[in-house]
Amino acid sequence: MAAHVWLIALKDLDGDARAVKLGEVAELELGEGQGRFVGDPLRMALAGLEDDSRFPYVLDANGSAVGVATLQSGAARAAGWADNDSAWLLRGFLVDRRQQGRGFGAAASAAAVREAGRLTRVLGGGQRGVVLSVNEANPAGQAAYRKAGFEDCGQYLGGDAGAQRIFYRSF
């Protein structure tokens, strides 16, 4: 049975609901060594709420947060993409260490592509897909993105934590 994950847009929640979901985000745990590749989940979510180009999401399964992700417009070069405007950047993506290996990463990244397509239609952007970078030392992450239909587009050496692979999926 495939995992199912809802992307809950933090910017769409009222204050009380947002506080509940942010409380759940604060309880997410990084896996061994994951801190090298991704930041603190709560900080990432809060940063997304403060930036108009970012759309932060809680990855929710069975009514509880299992991770976080942010879609950002105008920032695709941060993942090694050729330009900033033809793709959404998927950043700050993580699944709680206790939930890893259950298919939530692949399900959530595929849902993020659908959501980016919806945002493009609503906001009128010219994006045609989603780009991200994943560290070459993270084979599980790479496998999850491939399972979600992303294609490996080559190496990117601009990451803070070493060599990255650029992954892209069109809408």
- Residues near 10 by Cβ (< 8 Å), separated by ≥ 6? 18, 21, 22, 45, 48, 49, 56, 57, 58
Query: Do residues 112 and 7 make contact, with C-beta atoms less than 8 angstroms apart?
Result: yes
Mean pLDDT, 10 residues at a time, the chain of 171 residues: 85 97 96 78 95 97 96 96 97 93 92 97 95 91 93 88 93 94
CA proximity to 61, closest of 31, 26, 100, 29: 100
- Measured in degrees and rounded to the nearest 5, phi and psi for residue 10 equal -60, -35
Tokens of 157: 């050496």
Q: Report pLDDT for 1.
A: 45
pTM of the predicted protein model: 0.93
Element (H, E) at 118: helix 104-123
